[in-house]
Structure 1
Amino acid sequence: MGITNASSTTTLSTNAIEELPINEPLGSVACPICSQEFINLQKLNKHLDRDHGFDNTRNKSSSSLRSNSQKLPTSVGGSPKKQGKQQRIRTTHWEQLGKFPSTCGECNCNLNDSVGATNCRKCGKLYCGRHCRHKIKLNLNAKYDAESGKWYICCKSCYNKRPGYNDYGSYKDLTDDFVRYRNSNSEDKALRLLQLEVRLVKLVDGVFRLYKRYNSNVIMRLKFSNEVSKLERIICPWKDDQNVVDCEICIQPFTLTVRKHHCRLCGSVVCDDPHTMCSKKIPIQLLVNASKELPFKEAEKFKNIKDIQYSALLCTKCTNTLYLKRMFKQSMKEKQSNIIQLYENMNDTSKVILKVLSTFEVLLLQVENSKKSQDSPSEVLLKDLVTTRGKVMRNFSAFNLVVKQINQYKPKNATETKIQKSLQITASEFVNKNIIPLKSLNFNIESGTSICGSSLPNIIDTGPQVKKLSDLLFNNLTIKEVKEYREELMVLKEQSFLVQSMVETAKTQRKFEELKSLDENLKDLNVRIEELENKLGEEGFS
């Protein structure tokens, strides 16, 4: 057992304790179990015997392992010695050392003289000295008692299982307090908003009344500004700015250039720095139009609000409290911009194209595999391939129409101009990645020509057929083929125009790496356009 001297931070062995006089004061001696300090060893020994169950009258000839099972001190005649009112913790549940080597309940090491053996005062199991160092308060029945119990050593399991234990410290449910605090804050915000609205109504109506009274001539108009200043101080008392040295919002010190100003609705002292925007003068027309639901009496009677040359200086806090929520609701009610609608249409169409293209590529791969194995594709597979290709072409036409609308759209502001340029670049990249490789395929199943140039069986090849209007030929092409080639030619010309514009942009920005790939794409487009124009002849676009 080691005893720590708190003043000198040294450890005294059992033999050293026996050699020292127990009544001689040592300064402060700490208990090795509960760290309680004593002035001498006598009081420390009494504390160990009384509170922790140690007994100095044990038989010293017994082994240190057997000393864990405490024995009551006996008198010379063998009868138990009376201890008076001294009481010890219950030890009947303690685990005893057996004939075979006992093991620690935590690390399973063999308990011997070097390791030591200690019983957990709560569960009674045997542990080595390293794994029985925790301390909890127990009563004499070895039950947890945080109020009237005394400190005893225990194992980690008993320490963690005690009532109210939490690895992250004490736990207390503060949900109700949080809800109550949040509701109180919400109520405070609602009251604050109501107060500002009442002050705004009084300020606007007062300005309108003063304008009607003093708008007759120039001299009266000069008096109008003085009366408005008095009205502003009456509606909201201004804070004394003599001792104010910093802005209440940005904490910026006031100087000769950064002047002090009072908010007309809350009276706070703020700065007029244009970078921080702590305060701003808002015309009375905007104040009324942004809050039309407020009960303005004089504003409703007055028709020409623009004639009133008055602007109220409001701080950022009051402006956000009054108008931020209103502006959000108003923006939600407004109609969506046309450029945003075009973007949504292009996005939806591109998703459909990618979905149909994946199906088309799977069918196309099945046809190629059947040709490599020298088996003719089934009619069902060819029909599905033709149908899917038609869907792809129709969606490409819809995509091209949306891109045309985006190019022809006239932006209303700088933001819409940026959105339009971004959409044009995105559309061009989508075309280069998905449409151009597909258009380069020489695919015509109905005429019996496959991708690789070999002959495929016609879908319908039995019996005489009646010629329909769609079977009439133009330049050895059916009406349906002419229509498809026209659609393809229209898309390719549009994409050629977009790529040319991108080439010019790359030249001006000296992006030579992009210029090479763009030139190659433009050549492929021009080659395919020339092929389609030769096929269509007079049926092509003039």
Structure 2
Amino acid sequence: MARNNNYDILNSTNTTDSNTYNDEITNLLQNHEGTVSVAPITQSHWVPNQMRDYCANLNCKKKFTIIERRHHCRICGEIFCGSCSNYKRRLSPTANYHVNGQLYRPEAQAMGTMTNLMQDYTRFQRQMRDERVLIRSGSVTRSEVDGKLNKSPSVAALLHAEITRLIDGFRGMISSSSLVTSAKLFLNSFNGIPEWQKSNNWMPITASKHCCGCAKEFSFIRKNRHCRVCGALICAECSSEDLLLYVPNESSDKYNVKWSIINDFGCPSSEPTICIYLRVCTECQSALSNLLVHQAECNEKQVQVKVKETDAEKFFKEISAIHNKLASIKAKVQESLPKYQKSIESMGINSGSPKSSPNIQNNIQALAKLQIDISDELSSFILSLQPLKNIKSQNSTQNKLLECVKMGSIKFYYDNITVFRNMKIRLENAVPPEVLTEIQSEVNKNAINGTYIYVKQLIMEYLILSQLHHFQNELADVILPCEKVSFIELQKCITARNEDFSKHINTIDTFLKYQLEQNRLVKPSKRLTSQCGSSYVYEFFIQRSEVLVMQIYRQLCARSTSSKFLGSKKALSELNVKIAQMRKAMSIDF
């Protein structure tokens, strides 16, 4: 049975514009370190007051007077009377839904499209789709599918077979009348799961008492459900009804069934008249998302477009590189979040427990590390999103693909940053204040420690390259004040924890020596260095430094509490501005 609430605010009319997606991506970068954004909500899409004398609700049309005032919907920008806009939702500064945003007034219709957005936040991914479904089916081994989801033809063949089964089954449900089709779908929803929705690997209800995704035991509250693609038994947290089978509204053929993932590539901008939503586990959803990318690229090659072939190849090369990087970070986030949750659940600390016991200290260090890892992964995700703003599409197919990448990425960030913050709140409620202080102290120490190491390594790499390629130490002089500030704040942090600072610095020096030998932050191309000489190396270092300094700054803000390391945060922010000015002076294009 079709349900309108599957089309959330990311598919509303005010977000389909490319500039709006770009504004949202920029907003994520600017406000990532805060729990709630302090930026004011945009009013750029508001309808001017003088253009409306009556309420925009067609069922109301109340005339505005001195008593009946005008009220703007913060989502769509239209003007309504007080009765038709007596609702509030949490929105981001770009007027998109955000569960941690501030409360603003939308009108009733916009409110209704978001009634179920609070569901299924805690969706965790235990393994990739191929590490469970394919191995269970016996078609491939673990080593054959590990990290090769997009490249393995057996994976694509299996997914195609399952999707074809669902499409054929849905096509059999379609009648010549859309009204009859809707009635049949409604009646079938009371008759259990139809046979055409069951995969060849369908797990019987008695096959497992635990979810195949998160391994939690099924209960009266945590009911078991089936993924319609792989047939696995999963819970609501590890699945969603985001697999859409539909007939395009513009299609003259009522049996022309298509499929898509909600808020992903090729998803219709509005709910089709003839459609059905099927439950899919998070692993299958990830695999199907990759398949949609591959299909879009193949379709583009088959369509005759009025652009040069080299332009199309460049577009797909750029968007594929970003998509693959984002997918890699998504996998890390979805792997780290369940570990973080498990660590919180296993704390088991009472207010009378000694903080110095080895078990508690190990738990504190593990929690601190996971908290840092997740913060860094989400920061990297936001920074990896930024290049999407610079990609230009040449036709409607490319534009739709690009907007779907942006839309899906923004939704992923909002979903997972909310899960992460809710877990931190749960941690605060689960442990005594003194233990929570110890955890945050460990996080703060690692935050300023990482900042100092990266800044120090950046200076050392620049000095090495400047001596090798004979250019001035200008950039090192610009970075040096930031290094000094972070050193002072690191020293204060280590000393406050009653740790040996001299020993700590010796450990850092040893680590930096290893980093300079094995893991450089800036790696100029050997080919371009031989062709262009020292000028290329210098300009490349400036360009790369701007990205690195921004990343170091965002990670420090995301890791540490807002009142800590203000000197380093200010120095990094100022350093980023100076490097950006140096880059612009040389007219370097990213």
TM-score per shorter chain, which class? under 0.3
* Higher fraction of helix: 2
Per the normalisation by structure 1, the TM-score is 0.26
Higher relative contact order (CA 8 A, sep 6+): 2
Per the normalisation by structure 2, the TM-score is 0.24
